[in-house]
Amino acid sequence: MTTEHETQPWVKLEEIIDSGNAEQLEAYLNSLAPGEAALALSRLDGVEQLKVLTTLEPQDAADLIDEIPDVQATALVDALSPERAAVILQNLDSDEQADVLGAIDAEHAEAVLAAMDPQEAAEARKLFSYAPDVAGGLMVTEYLSYPRTFTARNVIEDLRQKVDEYADYDVQYVFVVSQEEKLEGVLRLRDLVLTPSNTPVVDIMIPNPLSVKVDEPLDELGAFFDHHAFIGVPVVDEAGRLVGVVRRADVEDALGDRADSDYLKSQGIVGGEELRTMPLLLRSRRRLSWLSINIVLNVIAASVIAYFEETLAAVIALAVFLPIISDMSGCSGNQALAVSVRELALGFIRPNELLRVWLKEISVGLINGVALGILIALTAWVWKGNAYLGLVVGTALALNTMIAVSIGGLVPLVLKLVKQDPALASGPILTTVTDMCGFFFVLSFAQLMLPWLVGTS
Amino acid sequence: MTTEHETQPWVKLEEIIDSGNAEQLEAYLNSLAPGEAALALSRLDGVEQLKVLTTLEPQDAADLIDEIPDVQATALVDALSPERAAVILQNLDSDEQADVLGAIDAEHAEAVLAAMDPQEAAEARKLFSYAPDVAGGLMVTEYLSYPRTFTARNVIEDLRQKVDEYADYDVQYVFVVSQEEKLEGVLRLRDLVLTPSNTPVVDIMIPNPLSVKVDEPLDELGAFFDHHAFIGVPVVDEAGRLVGVVRRADVEDALGDRADSDYLKSQGIVGGEELRTMPLLLRSRRRLSWLSINIVLNVIAASVIAYFEETLAAVIALAVFLPIISDMSGCSGNQALAVSVRELALGFIRPNELLRVWLKEISVGLINGVALGILIALTAWVWKGNAYLGLVVGTALALNTMIAVSIGGLVPLVLKLVKQDPALASGPILTTVTDMCGFFFVLSFAQLMLPWLVGTS
């Protein structure tokens, strides 16, 4: 049984939940390796999961919410009573609060806000009003700012007095503001330490510090932190007033989340993340919504084959090569697609540089198409003893490779130009068009060459 | 021409390079939005790129190296003379130094090390001896540590004296070590500020701080920073001696790089990142290496069709459905694959939980397989007026959907168990197996049903 417990933390967790001992529960959750808590929690049933959150002290419950994946946190908070959810949320950083409130059921969110401390609720509402992927939605409001009239001693005394209140704050910098709350400077703790205590803060602050606007988009924030080795950047409103701080870690988390979401979408997991602990019918329905679009596209592409059925009947060997050409073109197209996605992300191409990308792709497509075409032509020739069959499938694969790299290379740029989501649409567009072209090339060439193909096959 | 310059920074950059003015060059590069510098640089030819690095002051050149993508930085440093490369590298953080030295040509790296300041070279060599994806390879050696016998005043005085020398250091914490350099505590700058200056550091330090071993792998470091809101973590050797600091930002960068590399590999960009500025033949060769493996797998899968050629000739309409079944099964399998990759990354499943994953997948596969099977069966029936054709392709798609989700769901787990790279091998395994099974189902069912199929078609 001991080894069982070691490898299956949820069994042990269930036992502790039954005992209802908050301290033991907290101690056990803390003893688990990072990630194991989320795993253990995911294996409990809904009632048990709620019991964990209601048994823990609010601060510990908030830490747990912070640690587990967003999709899991949302489901848990959705199931809590508004009062309990409010108590726990008050222990989260302001940006996390806003994220959770934005993700849970809207009506429940209102109930939770109503149950929160009015000032905290007002803060949360404000953050929550920003889009989640701009500075306003990513910032925290836990920062320290002091008037420009202060000295180093004033700042240090305030820090000393409110050391408990500021315990949650990630104090690396403090900000200096004008009477109108306009951002005037940044003060590094180390400069506070290193100067005589009666120095005015305006003399040791870094004046006119870099800042971002509340509506600065995530991509720009990512580029900002790539460019500057800062831990955080102050956020100002239209009037230049300091309203929050965006931390590097939160920007990196948000970029990571978006990359994960793009990956899932590109693989056909659409409409939200899927975990296997979710209800079967929800998982099935979400997957089907994507598959049913694809099956229609597939039928459209395959109708090209139906059109050439007589040719195919005359040279049945062609049927072997249709899926090969479809799949190989897909591979070539995906390579070009990946390079475009990557170059766009790195900023090495701009979405309007279609001609440049196409020229770069078509030259690779020409070389690789000819190489692959010769390979498949030789295969067909050796297998069927008919050089014309090789000529047909080889030429078709060569041409279709060029089509595939062109589409793969350009589709992400075009989708970006027309502001569509490349992760979602690139794959189906690529597959459908290359399949149609590939089937058309093989079968129309075969139709032209029919006398030579049937002569010896 | 003005607008031309605004949209094409490389034109302007070329002009400045020709003038050879270091200050103007630095000012122009700084004026570019983040990312634009990398773009502009990538559009210059090799000679011009080198001229940028040799014209800039070493510190500015180092900042540029730090900012541009690794693959671009490596190519540039590879082309520099060892002496110039050494001068520039000395201005990089120790972890970046080690990364660049590890990525450039090994012989060139030795020449650069030989040209560096002996002490810096020794540090770099040490870091460079660690794998790039463990704490030793990710850590920086720019940290501050003080003996346990110091007081707060001693520390502050040292900071004050060496303020210039430490300017590059990212000082948020200082460490307290024993006489044997063993890590004993962490001191927060804010505690230094807030206590009387004659307090011994041992009284205000956080004793027995969390630390990681030099050989701690990247995944564990990622989990560590998920779990703890630290900016950095001290790294100790086997004897508990402090040897460096791993910063959160560097761990997140490394995880991001790995995710990018996984994405590229899963799309068939293998053997290193591709940028369209690379030589055509290199790009073509790398892509072909992957395509030629795939074409072999494709021919193997399609040989199933060849085996049933007589059946196919009798019911030529089946040829239309073979690519549909191949593609739809690929889609279903990719969905399951994405969920497994995601759950593994989140720690929600363990690689050995094959049965659990299979049961979860097969239930979705059953529902979706039946739904898709009915859809394609109706399509076939309506189109050809033959219900038996619908039965054959519908049953085949239903069964093959179950096969596809099983393989898609399990392949990432199995590859992880046998320590293979899931990004590289998952796709080809999934495609090949599901194609073979799909073709086999359609054609063998058709063979069994042949009398009914040819009767009315």
Q: Measured between CB atoms, does B158 come within 8 Å of chain A?
A: no
Q: Taking the mean position of all CA atoms in its chain, how far away is CA A213?
A: 23
Residues from chain B contacting residue A290 (CB–CB below 8 Å):
331, 335
Q: Please give the Cα distance from A139 to B226 (Å, whole number).
A: 18
Q: What is the pLDDT of residue A167?
A: 62
Distance (Å, rounded) from C-alpha A218 to C-alpha A210?
A: 17
- pLDDT band (50, 70, 90) for residue B432: very high
Distance from CA of A367 to the nearest CA of B (A): 7
Overall average pLDDT of the B218-223 stretch:
88
Q: Tell me which chain B residues have a C-beta less than 8 angstroms from the C-beta of A294.
A: 327-328, 331
Contact map slice: B 364-423 vs A, CB within 8 A: 364, 367-368, 371-372, 375-376, 379, 383
Tell me the mean pLDDT in the region A131-148: 90
Q: How confident is the model at residue A81 (pLDDT cuts 50, 70, 90)?
A: very high
List of chain A residues whose C-beta atoms are within 8 Å of the C-beta of residue B231: 172, 231
Q: How confident is the model at residue B455 (pLDDT cuts 50, 70, 90)?
A: low
The ipTM estimated for the assembled molecules is: 0.86
Q: What is the pLDDT of residue A67?
A: 79
From chain B residues 295-314, the ones with a CB under 8 A of any chain A CB are 295, 298-299, 301-303, 305-306, 309, 312-313
* Segment B35-49, tens digit of pLDDT: 678 788 888 888 888
User: Coil, helix or strand for A286?
Assistant: helix
- pLDDT at residue A309 in the model: 92
Minimal Cα–Cα distance from B80 to chain A, Å?
22
Q: Which tens digit of pLDDT belongs to each residue from A175-205?
A: 999 999 999 999 887 777 778 888 899 999 9
Selected residue of B253, B295, B326 to mutate for chain A interface (largest A Cβ count, 10 A): B295
Judge whether A267 is closer than 8 Å to chain B, CB to CB.
Answer: yes
Model confidence at B126: pLDDT above 70: yes
A14: DSSP letter: H
Distance from CA of A18 to the nearest CA of B (A): 23
Which is nearest to A306 in space by CA: B303, B302, B318?
Answer: B318
Which of B255, B348, B372 lies closest to A42 in CB terms? B348
Which one of B68, B267, B355 makes the best mutation probe of the A interface by having the most chain A beta carbons within 10 Å?
B267
- The answer for B 96-125 residues in CB contact with A (under 8 A) is none
E strand residue ranges, A2-156: 145-147
pLDDT at residue B93 in the model: 84
CA distance B360 to chain A (A): 7
Strand B242-247 with B232-236, pairing: antiparallel
Q: Which of A147-161, B155-169, B245-259, B292-306 has the highest mean pLDDT?
A: B292-306
Q: Which residues of B39-57 are buried (b: 16+ CB within 10 A; e: fewer)?
A: bbbbbbeeeebbbbbebbe
pLDDT, tens digit (0-9, with 9 covering 90-100), for A432-451: 999 999 999 999 999 999 99
Tokens of A391: 């000529």
In this prediction, residue B2 carries a pLDDT of 39
Q: Which residues of B374-396 are buried (b: 16+ CB within 10 A; e: fewer)?
A: ebbbebbbeebebebbbbbbbbb
Beta-carbon contacts of B341 under 8 Å, excluding residues fewer than 6 positions away, are A263, B412, B422, B426
* pLDDT mean over B21-38: 81
Residue B5 has pLDDT above 50, yes or no: no
Q: Which residues contact B112 (CB under 8 A, 6 or more apart)?
A: B77, B82, B85, B86, B89, B101, B104
Which of A292-301, B12-21, B173-182 is the least confident region? B12-21
> Model confidence over A408-432: pLDDT tens digits?
999 999 999 998 888 888 999 999 9
Residue A272 pLDDT > 60, yes or no?
yes
**Strand pairing class (A232-236; A212-213):** parallel
pLDDT of residue B283: 93
A328–B364 C-beta distance less than 8 A: no
**Averaged pLDDT of chain B:** 88
Residue type, A249: A
Tokens representing B143? 């940290």
The 10s digit of each residue's pLDDT in B243-292 is 999 988 888 888 888 888 888 998 999 888 888 888 899 999 999 999 99
DSSP state of A165: G
Q: Which residue has the tokens 């969110």?
A: A109
* CB within 8 Å: B268 and A363: no
Give the pLDDT confidence score for residue B249 in this predicted structure: 80
